[in-house]
Amino acid sequence: MQVKTKLLFEHFWSGEGNLSYFIGNPENREAILIDPDLEIVGTYLLKLDKDNWLLKAVIDTHNHAEHATAAPLLAKLTGAGYIMHELAPSSFVTDRVRDGDERTIAGATLRFYHLPGHTPDLMAVGWENKLFTGDSVFNRSCGRADLPGGDPGRQFDSLQRVKNEFPPQTEIWPAHDYSNQTHTTLEQALRENGRLQFTDREEFIRFMDEYYATNEKPDDLEYYVAFNAR
């Protein structure tokens, strides 16, 4: 029986609580990056170069509104594919995926789940027992739904889907955390994440509308939405 290669996994912090992820196959040196941030593009490039990784795919979980994505640059420099949901606006995407699609890259089988709400194109990426949730479910909260393309009702539906569709041991690895926590388990989030406690859609929409009515919008919001969508 063939022994399965143990893949390497790493996370990166950047900006104000942005998280990005690396998956690497030590056997064939192939690698994947999820939600890379342009601010630390040098960190990714040094890592790829130093340890001789061959970047096969860069994935953005959605069109980011708070920071510039490094994915198009990394894809051009390395020849990697750029994967996003089919609704993503960026013209640099080379592989547009839909809900339920699977890709095996660098020995990792990734499955994509369309979870709109924060943006129309948001998708989570499932790998082994990990779910890279982007700005759908956070460790102790969820992505806001008041930015361009956001929809609190759809965000509610997406949260319900995560609650119902994944086993409790699933690890949630979000695109942001503002308290230095990288991940949580769904089991823990079901108990501790206030946003997952809502059972009424209208109540959730009211809560989100009120909560974010006084919440400051990210700096340079329109600029990043347009820049990442170019």
Partner 1 sequence: MAKAMAPMIIDVRSRDEYLREHIPGSRNIPLEHIQESIEELREELWQNPAVILTCRSGRRAREAAQLLKAQGCGDVVVMEGGIMGWKKQGGEVRSLKTGISIMRQVQIVVGALILLGFFIEPIWFLVPVAGLGMLVAGLTGTCAMASVLAKLPWNCPGNVESCPIE
* Chain positions contacting partner 1, by CB under 8 A: 38, 41-42, 56, 68, 72-73, 75-81, 92, 94, 223, 227, 230
Q: Which is nearer to partner 1, 57 or 196 (CB)?
A: 57
Which helix (H) or strand (E) segment holds residue 189: the answer is helix 186-192
Task: Give the whole-angstrom CA distance, residue 34 versus residue 60.
Answer: 6
Report how far apart, in Å, the C-alpha atoms of 160 and of each of 5, 36, 133, 157 are.
Answer: 34, 27, 13, 5
Instruction: Name the minimum Å distance from CB 40 to partner 1.
Output: 11
* Element at 43 (helix H, strand E): helix 41-50
Q: How far is the CB of 84 from partner 1 (least distance, A)?
A: 14
- Cβ proximity to partner 1: between 4 and 230 the closer is 230
Q: Indicate the residue among 42 and 168 with the shorter CB distance to partner 1.
A: 42
- The nearest distance, CB 128 to partner 1, in angstroms, is 24
In whole angstroms, give the CA distance from residue 37 to residue 20. 7
Nearer to partner 1, 79 or 148 (CB): 79
Q: How far is the CB of 82 from partner 1 (least distance, A)?
A: 9
Nearer to partner 1, 94 or 197 (CB): 94
Using alpha carbons, select from 155, 152, 147, 118 the residue that is nearest to residue 217: 147
Alpha-helix residue ranges (DSSP H) falling in 91-185: 152-165
Nearest to 114 by CA among 84, 81, 153, 80: 84
* Nearest approach, Cβ of residue 149 and partner 1 (Å): 20
